[in-house]
Amino acid sequence: MNLEKQNQELETQNQELEMEKRNLTNQIKDMEAKGNELNISRAQWSIDAYCPKRDARRQCKSCQPGRILFQSSCYMVLDYKTSTNRKTWEEARENCTIRSSDLVVVDNAEEKKYVSDNSWGSSGNEGYWIGLKADGRKWKWVDGSDLADSSWTENPTDGHCAISVTNDGWKSVNCNDRNRWICEQKALSV
């Protein structure tokens, strides 16, 4: 009698587990379908952003409109003349993220010169945010890498971020200052 009761309980548990398995399998299928729809939507957005239709034909460009191609990246220089439109470092980074990019990460001397040359009208402690922030006693890029050539800027101070200033290189300023900023994203290979 006891074995019969245990067998029945195990049968009930097995049925419940089978039902739960079916439900989870259906949830996975639904999530995969939604993920595929999202990927298709993103792909279509990319096609539309980089390859807009002109006269029923698509013409692809390496960068979206309003961005400047240099080396293998597209740059957006947000040059707000009035301080009311300028942003803190974190706000600038969020703004870049909304634009499917991030604050610029400088990889070499040519890119550093390019960024400096595009820091128009900056002077003193008013420049353009770049993706460099003090983390402990080190400078860190937004991509997580360390600043390789520390001769490019001052020693880091916690709560400070770097700006690019025309003809003056990079400066360490408080991350809560309000500045213009430069976003970067990888260029489309066409």
**Separation between Cα atoms, residue 119 and residue 177, nearest integer Å:** 16
At residue 39, the pLDDT reads 54
Residues making up the chain, counted from first to last: 190
- Find the mean pLDDT for residues 175-189: 91
Report the C-alpha dihedral over residues 145, 148, 149, 152, rounded to 10 degrees.
0
Q: What angle do CA 48, 49, 52 make, to 5 degrees?
A: 55
At residue 9, the pLDDT reads 85
**Tokens 């739960």 found at:** 20
Residue pLDDT, tens place only, 103-146: 999 988 899 888 888 777 666 667 899 999 998 888 999 999 88
**Separation between Cα atoms, residue 145 and residue 139, nearest integer Å:** 9
Q: Is 122 helix (H, G, I), strand (E, B) or coil?
A: coil
Q: Please answer whether residues 92 and 181 qualify as being in contact, where contact means their C-beta atoms are separated by less than 8 angstroms.
A: yes
**Tokens 């010169």 found at:** 113
Q: In sequence order, which residues have a C-beta less than 8 Å from that of residue 161 and are 6 or more positions away?
A: 89, 129, 132, 133, 134, 172, 173, 174, 175
**Tokens 């293998």 found at:** 72
This prediction's pTM: 0.69
Listed residue (75, 66, 69) closest to 183, CA to CA: 75
Q: What is the DSSP letter of 185?
A: E
- Sequence spans of domains, the chain: 2-58, 68-186
**Separation between Cα atoms, residue 70 and residue 183, nearest integer Å:** 13
At residue 124, the pLDDT reads 60
- 43: pLDDT strictly greater than 70: no
**Topology of the domain comprising 68-186:** Mannose-Binding Protein A; Chain A (3.10.100)
User: Which parts of 29-146 are beta strand (E)?
Assistant: 53-54, 57-58, 68-70, 73-78, 102-103, 128-135, 138-141
- 167: pLDDT strictly greater than 70: yes
Listed residue (58, 74, 54) closest to 66, CA to CA: 74
At residue 132, the pLDDT reads 95
- 10: pLDDT strictly greater than 70: yes
